[in-house]
Amino acid sequence: MPSLPYNLIIADDDETIRSLLTLKATHYGLHPVTAANGREALELMRDHVDLVLLDLHMPEMDGFSCLEKLSKSHPNVPVIVLSGANEASAAMKAVKLGAHDYITKPFDLNHLFTTLRNAKKLSKVQKENQSLKDSISQESASTDIIAHSDSMRVLLKKAKKIAKLDSSVLLTGESGTGKGVMARFIHSNSSRANKPFVTVSCPALPRELLESELFGHEKGAFTGALKQRIGKIEAAKGGTLFLDEIGDLPIDLQPKLLNVLQDKKFHRVGGEKELTCDVRIITATNIDFKEKIAAKEFREDLFYRISVIPLELPALRARPAEIIPLANHFLNRIAQQRNTSTITIHKDASDKLLQYDWPGNVRQLENLMERASAFCDDNEVTADDLMGSIDQESSTSTQATNLAGMTLADVEKLAIAQTLELCGGNKAESARKLGISEKSIYNKMKRLEL
Ligand SMILES: Nc1ncnc2c1ncn2[C@@H]1O[C@H](COP(=O)(O)OP(=O)(O)OP(=O)(O)O)[C@@H](O)[C@H]1O
């Protein structure tokens, strides 16, 4: 583990590339540290890191899995992915998963470091924005929810009613639809509003850390537990605990949460004493629990406990009336934070926004507005500022491809690329779906330059 401060993580399994980029990054005034795979990159992640340069194909944990975790644990740290020459769809997939930008190998070093410099500037603005957002009071956070469509208005009405009860709420919906915002809205409209609202993202931490994060630990409970620490359940005393992506709660921690829900009781890790808690639990998921329950990865009794009141957030594509008001809302907030005049959207850009189907939902729109507004001229976002990121044709999943006339190698390549995209870059799952071994998929990807 490096002891010197670093602000750039270079994650690539190719040692030559790591050495070359380290040398160049130092030359450009950055302080790099290297990782040979996604797992190592995650371990190196700290609050002081400004940028991550991430290869998509690495052993142990590839760039996609690492990116998904980074987007959740450090959403304001720009990640630039390094992709192969013929990997446009993989690179676009990475951007949808939260990557700031992508660079295709073989890369031009000047271009690479200009991209890094721009990303660092943007990261600084985003960090300032975040601290401003964090300082916004809970009251104003509750009014910060945009609801122009009928479906969202109905949902908000329901949420206000639910807020008055103390029952557990399960928020469902695709990633980025606003489950976190809704959880806060419910809290802010409840009798617990002046007490803490505490969030824990279940997949963001390894099992042991998650257990201690939730339940706290006693001094000496494990190596490194130098003093007693209270967990988020205690920190949320009197308020609301929001457990994001509850489907990822490890099976052996599930009985402990069930105890909290049923009897309001828990133990700190390594603790003998049974403690009582006073917390309302709101959970969120974007997975279908039926499969998890059937595979015995999620306890059915816990599922019933967390889903006393289920509330589904519709995908952004199902409420197009919201797209432009949301885009304007984000631009107004950005203009306020940067202390500049209003940022507007040109008609050609709003047409493009309306035509798109938003697989990454409101989060994708928010990120896009942040990015487009950073580069637009005269405080107006034009179609060019959207930088091709939302061209429908760039999504292989929506492409209707005519296979006739294609070479078998190209068909094979397309099938693998689309399956990888479908499986979020997970090679083991893609191999299973394609009916080949994991080793074969690696060999084929190498041979087909995927
Ligand atoms: N209706 C809304 N009004 C204003 N901002 C919104 C709205 N919905 C979502 N957002 C913004 O979009 C971003 C994504 O929302 P949020 O994190 O709540 O989504 P999510 O469904 O919890 O995502 P995930 O499943 O990936 O955790 C946030 O920055 C949030 O502020």
pLDDT per position as a tens digit, 282-294: 999 988 888 899 9
Q: How far is the CA of 396 from the centre of ligand 1 (A)?
A: 25
Q: Is 293 in the pocket of ligand 1 (CB under 6 A)?
A: no
Q: Is 371 in the pocket of ligand 1 (CB under 6 A)?
A: no
Atom number, ligand 1, closest to the C-alpha of residue 362: 12
With a pLDDT cut of 90, the percent of the chain lying above it is 45
Give the mean model confidence (pLDDT) for residues 298-308.
95
Q: Is 359 in the pocket of ligand 1 (CB under 6 A)?
A: no
Q: How far is the CA of 191 from the centre of ligand 1 (A)?
A: 23
Q: Is 156 in the pocket of ligand 1 (CB under 6 A)?
A: no
Q: How far is the CA of 176 from the centre of ligand 1 (A)?
A: 5
The complex's ipTM works out to 0.98
What is the band of 382 on the pLDDT scale with cuts at 50, 70, 90? very high
Say how far residue 80 (Cα) sits from the centre of its chain.
Answer: 15
At 339, list the tokens: 């202390």
Strands (E), 25-168: 32-35, 51-55, 79-83, 101-104
Q: How far is the CA of 177 from the centre of ligand 1 (A)?
A: 5
To test the ligand 1 pocket, which listed residue (200, 363, 366, 368) has its Cβ within 8 A of the most ligand atoms?
363
- Strands 265-266 vs 280-285: parallel, antiparallel or unpaired: unpaired
Burial class (CB within 10 angstroms; exposed 0-12, middle 13-18, buried 19+) of 229: middle
| Helix H or strand E segment including 281 | strand 280-285
User: Whole-angstrom Cα distance, residue 85 to residue 107?
Assistant: 9
Give the pLDDT confidence of 202-260 residue by residue, as tens digits. Answer: 887 888 889 999 999 998 888 777 888 899 999 999 999 999 999 999 999 999 999 99
Coil/strand/helix, residue 312: strand
Please state, rounded to an integer, the average pLDDT across all residues of the chain.
85
Contact 85, 449 (CB under 8 A): yes
- 0.80 cut: is pTM over it? no
Q: How far is the CA of 145 from the centre of ligand 1 (A)?
A: 9
Q: Which residues pair with 110 in a beta bridge?
A: none
- Strands 265-266 vs 275-276: parallel, antiparallel or unpaired: antiparallel
Q: Which CATH superfamily is domain 8-135 in?
A: Response regulator (3.40.50.2300)
What is the band of 323 on the pLDDT scale with cuts at 50, 70, 90? very high
Burial class (CB within 10 angstroms; exposed 0-12, middle 13-18, buried 19+) of 394: middle
Give the mean model confidence (pLDDT) for residues 249-273.
94
Residue 430 has pLDDT above 80, yes or no: no
Residue reference for tokens 């700190």: 268
Question: What is the domain class of 138-314 according to CATH?
Answer: alpha beta
Q: Which residues pair with 244 in a beta bridge?
A: 201
Q: How far is the CA of 182 from the centre of ligand 1 (A)?
A: 8
138-314 and 8-135 share a CATH fold: yes
User: Whole-angstrom Cα distance, residue 305 to residue 74?
Assistant: 30
Contact 173, 310 (CB under 8 A): no
Which residue has its alpha carbon closest to ligand 1 atom 17? 180
Nearest to 431 by CA among 422, 447, 421, 420: 420
Residue 1 has pLDDT above 70, yes or no: no
CATH number for the domain running over 318-394? 1.10.8.60
User: Which one is the CATH code of 400-447: 1.10.10.60, 3.30.470.20, 1.10.3720.10, 1.10.510.10?
Assistant: 1.10.10.60
Greatest CA separation for the chain = 71
What is the band of 417 on the pLDDT scale with cuts at 50, 70, 90? confident
Residue 278 has pLDDT above 80, yes or no: yes
User: Whole-angstrom Cα distance, residue 330 to residue 176?
Assistant: 14
Atom number, ligand 1, closest to the C-alpha of residue 144: 4
Q: Is 362 in the pocket of ligand 1 (CB under 6 A)?
A: yes
Domain ranges of the chain: 8-135, 138-314, 318-394, 400-447
Residue 143 has pLDDT above 80, yes or no: no
What is the band of 391 on the pLDDT scale with cuts at 50, 70, 90? low
Q: Which residues contact 81 (CB under 8 A, 6 or more apart)?
A: 54, 55, 56, 63, 67, 91, 94, 99, 101, 102, 103
Atom number, ligand 1, closest to the C-alpha of residue 180: 18
Q: How far is the CA of 7 from the centre of ligand 1 (A)?
A: 28
Say how far residue 146 (Cα) sits from the centre of its chain.
Answer: 21
Q: Give residue 137's pLDDT.
A: 37
| Helix H or strand E segment including 446 | helix 438-447
